[in-house]
Amino acid sequence: MAKQLGLLFDVTMCVGCGACYEACKAQNELPKTNDEPLKDHLSSETYTVVEQYGDVYTRKMCMHCTDPTCVSVCPVGAFEKTALGPVLYDADKCIGCRYCMQACPHRIPRYEWSSMNPRVRKCSMCYERVKEGLPTACAEVCPTGATQFGELDELIAIAKKRIEDNPDTYYPHIYGLEEAGGTNVLVLSPVPFEQLGYTANLPNKPLPTYTMAALDKIPSVVGIGGVFLAGMFWLTKRKNEIAQEEQKTNGNNSHEK
């Protein structure tokens, strides 16, 4: 298996220039949605945003989970976790149930609500580019290196080293290392992550494990249930027959008397 790719976003290095936002729009041929990039929010026409929280800036986009919830919940398998890491969506399979949106722990997928042929929209980590060895559009244009593209293992090492070397600068946590089983997008921040609008109450185990705990029981429900119901049918039928026969013989006896 090829090495997993990912993105490292460092809040301390971001200057809020919005170059990533514009590059993403250009790369995905998305229309302009806001005059001020910093005031925009994710939509079916905006796959990444730069948000201002006081004097720091952070980015929001698909986190490309290691064990993605969207991949697990989609009834028709329209989502795919590629070997390289990006999580992709296939509109041709989609039936439009929106379970991916309901289930995504990071609240990322957006919907084309006013379309008559609506699709789910989200960042694809520039799959068409990265599979050719190019960096994502956002990482390529970032003037400060706040958004860094690379192999996931290396990015994790870099993130760990930054926290280790500058314990005063960073909040001592790499967001995405363990959240809901981990993500291919990692975030470093000077402040706790819930202050930057990240979901902070996520369990460390992948969310699909919750559903699998229930789905795993299906074979035994069917097996034991089937045998039980068939058995009950046979038993109660037999019981009714015996009762009827007894009634008959009793009836005959009393008649003879």
Partner 1 sequence: MKNNLIKALTSKITFWSSVAAVIVAAGLYSTFLRFTQGLGGVTNLNDAFPWGLWIGFDILCGVGLAAGGFTICAVTHIFNIEKFKPLTRPAILTAFLGYVMVIVALMYDLGRPWAIWHAIIMWNTHSVMFEVAWCVMLYTTVLFLEFSPIMLERFRMKKTLRVLRMALIPIMIAGILLSTLHQSSLGSLYLIVPNKMHPLWWSMLLPVFFFLSAVSVGFAMVIFESYLSAKAFNHGLKLPLLSQIAGVMSVVLVVNLAAKFIDMAYTGDLPYLSVMGPETYLFYLEILIGTLIPVAILSVRKYRASNKWLYIAAVLTVAGFVLNRMNVSVTSLEASSSVPYFPTIYEISITLMLVVLGMWAFKFIVRNFPVFEAHEEQPKIIVDAKAFRESGWAMQNK
Instruction: Please give the residue ranges that form the binding site for partner 1 (CB under 8 A).
Output: 42-43, 69, 71-78, 93-99, 101-103, 105, 107, 109-118, 199, 201-203, 207-208, 210-215, 218, 221-222, 225-226, 229-230, 232-233, 236-237, 239-240
Q: How far is the CB of 149 from partner 1 (least distance, A)?
A: 26
Q: CA angle 130-132-135, nearest 5°?
A: 35
Asked whether the beta carbons of 193 and 174 are under 8 A apart, the reply is no
Beta carbon nearer to partner 1, 78 or 146: 78
Beta carbon nearer to partner 1, 164 or 194: 194
Q: How far is the CB of 204 from partner 1 (least distance, A)?
A: 12
Beta carbon nearer to partner 1, 236 or 252: 236
Q: How far is the CB of 247 from partner 1 (least distance, A)?
A: 13
Beta carbon nearer to partner 1, 33 or 199: 199
Q: How far is the CB of 195 from partner 1 (least distance, A)?
A: 15
* Per-residue buried b or exposed e for 141-156, using 16+ beta carbons within 10 Å of the residue's own CB: bbeeebbbbeebeebb
Beta carbon nearer to partner 1, 12 or 43: 43
Nearest to 79 by CA among 122, 118, 114, 46: 122
* Per-residue buried b or exposed e for 194-226, using 16+ beta carbons within 10 Å of the residue's own CB: eebebeeeeeeebbbeeeeeeeeeeeeeeeeee
DSSP string, 76-137: T--EEE-TTS-EEE-TTT-----HHHHH-TT---EE-TT-SS--EE---TTHHHHTTTPPPH
Beta carbon nearer to partner 1, 201 or 257: 201
CA distance 82 to 12: 30
Q: How far is the CB of 27 from partner 1 (least distance, A)?
A: 21
Beta carbon nearer to partner 1, 110 or 162: 110
CA distance 250 to 76: 62
DSSP code of residue 144: S
Q: How far is the CB of 221 from partner 1 (least distance, A)?
A: 6
For 58, other C-beta atoms within 10 Å of its C-beta total: 24
Report the greatest alpha carbon distance in the chain. Answer: 109
Q: How far is the CB of 62 from partner 1 (least distance, A)?
A: 13
